Chains A and B, each alone.
Chain A
Amino acid sequence: EVQLVESGGGLVKPGGSLRLSCAASGFTFSSYSMNWVRQAPGKGLEWVSSISSSSSYIYYADSVKGRFTISRDNAKNSLYLQMNSLRAEDTAVYYCARAAAYLIDYWGQGTLVTVSS
Chain B
Amino acid sequence: QPVLTQSSSASASLGSSVKLTCTLSSGHSSYIIAWHQQQPGKAPRYLMKLEGSGSYNKGSGVPDRFSGSSSGADRYLTISNLQSEDEADYYCETWDSNTRVFGGGTKLTVL
Contact = CB atoms under 8 A, between A and B. Distances in A.
Interface residues of A, number: 22
Interface stretch (A17-25, A68-76, A78-86, A98-106): A98-106
Given A104-B34, A105-B34, A47 B43 contact: no
B14 interface: no
B34 A107 contact: no
Interface in B2-59: 32-34, 36, 38, 43-46, 49, 59
B91 A110 contact: no
Interface string A41-69: 00011110010000001010100000000
B105 interface: yes
Interface stretch (B69-77, B79-87, B92-100): B92-100
Contact of A107 (B44, B89, B102): B44
A109 B42 CA distance: 7
Interface of A: 35, 37, 44-47, 50, 57, 59, 61, 95, 99, 101-110
The dominant DSSP class at the A interface is: strand
Given A44-B105, A95-B43, A95-B44, A103 B98 contact: no
Contact of B101 (A47, A57, A107): A47
A75 to B, nearest CB: 26
User: Quick one: which of B44, B59, B103 has the most chain A CB within 10 A?
Assistant: B44
Contacts, number: 59
Contacts of B32: 101-103
B100 A50 contact: yes
B33 to A, nearest CB: 7
A109 B43 CA distance: 5
The 5 A-B residue pairs whose C-beta atoms are closest, nearest first, are: A47-B100, A103-B34, A102-B95, A45-B102, A59-B98
B99 A107 contact: no
B53 to A, nearest CB: 15
Contacts of B104: 44
Nearest to B94: A103
Contacts of B102: 37, 44-47
A102 B100 CA distance: 9
